[in-house]
Amino acid sequence: MSLGTTAKWTPREVGELLVESLPYIQRFANRIIVVKYGGNALAGSDEATAIQSFARDIALLRAVGMKPVVVHGGGPQISAMMERLGKKPEFVDGLRVTDAETIEIASMVLLGHVNPQIVNAINSYGAHAVGISGQDAALLRVRQRDTRLGFVGDIASVDTTVIHSVLNDGAVPVIATIGSDGHGQAYNVNADTAAAAIAGALGAQKVIFLTDVPGVLRDRSDVQSLVAQATRDEIAEMIRTGIIDGGMIPKVESCLHALDAGVPDAHILDGRVEHVLLIELFTEAGVGTMLVKGST
């Protein structure tokens, strides 16, 4: 292992900053933090660089005693591979029809491309990551949502045995959200929903959704209008009044599912900000939106 150099800071500054982080490290020691990563955050011109930075942050969380669990999707990457293989997507009510060939491609892309990319990146920073499919053991058992959609599954049960074993070995579980019906058939599962369900089943302290927006905005054109913290009721009101709409609705709904499953707090953070996980967990700086169950 080659050790980094800290030309940017004097040794004394390193010491000062490290002791500043002490209370944050103690606050989340041994806590499970589920991080939903992916899709848009993964795609783009500097995909590899973004994954490296994310992986390094995750390795740090593990090294200082937290138990991060990564859950990822990979929609854009699946679409790209479908195109490359000459397969044209179809949709019903805005949802992708997942026929036998599509689930095959999704499986290859998620398990064979996105997952090992994240696993390898985390491992390259001295941590131990282990890739897990929702089909492993009985992790994600699903039922079909709608026959017209084909192999799209809703989560019927979560068995966290394999995740706990990986955590107990001191490693980082990296989970691709392909589920199984128990009879050998794979189903695609929405990664946000899966992250919320897994966080609930694990008794996680936090679930963090890394997206490509700054968080919930009262005025989408004004980054300053960020909602730093909100309760269930406030979120419901914001949906009712149209402040939250479009693609943000499923994000906040996954957060609410996690809260309902007993996770104390759920975050929507901007995955494009470098070290956003560390900033959230190790500083008082307000980044993104935190949802909590009770009143603020």
Instruction: Choose the binding region for a copy of itself from 32-40, 51-59, 215-223, 241-249 (rule: CB under 8 A).
Output: 51-59
CA distance 46 to 43: 8
Subset of residues 179 to 238 that bind a copy of itself, contact rule: CB under 8 A:
180, 182-186
Question: Encoding tokens for residue 60?
Answer: 């740090």
Exposure string for 2-11, b = 16+ CB within 10 A, e = fewer: eeeeeeeeee
Kindly write out the interface string for residues 163-182 of this chain, putting x where it contacts a copy of itself by CB under 8 A and - elsewhere.
Answer: --xx-xx-x------x-x-x
For residues 59 and 37, what is the distance between their CA atoms, to the nearest angstrom? 14
Of the pair 93, 284, the CB lying nearest a copy of itself is at 284
Strand stretches in 103-170, DSSP E: 129-133, 140-144, 153-158
Q: Encoding tokens for residue 241? A: 């009044």
140 touches a copy of itself by CB under 8 A = no
* DSSP code at position 42: T
Q: Is 264 in the site for a copy of itself (CB under 8 A)?
A: no
Residue 128 CB, nearest approach to a copy of itself (Å): 4
**Does 3 help bind a copy of itself (rule: CB under 8 A)?**
yes
Q: Is 142 in the site for a copy of itself (CB under 8 A)?
A: no
CA distance 171 to 58: 11
User: Residues 109, 210, 213, 266: which binds a copy of itself (CB under 8 A)?
Assistant: 109
Q: Which is nearer to a copy of itself, 208 or 252 (CB)?
A: 208
> Residue 107's CB: how many other CB atoms inside 10 A?
18
Among residues 180, 191, 187, which one has the least CA distance to residue 151? Answer: 187
99 touching a copy of itself, by CB under 8 A: no
Q: Give min distance, CB of 68 to a copy of itself, in A.
A: 13
The three-class DSSP label of residue 296 is coil
Smaller CB separation from a copy of itself, 95 or 138: 138
Q: How far apart are CA 281 and CA 33, in angstroms?
A: 10
Nearer of residues 233 and 274 to a copy of itself, judged by Cβ: 274
Residue 290, SS3 per DSSP: strand
The residues in 56-75 that bind a copy of itself, with binding defined as CB under 8 A, are 56-57, 59-60, 63-65
Q: Which is nearer to a copy of itself, 177 or 254 (CB)?
A: 177
The site for a copy of itself, by CB under 8 A, has a size of: 88
Helix (H) or strand (E) holding 89, with range, is none
User: Shortest distance, CB of residue 236 to a copy of itself, whole angstroms?
Assistant: 30
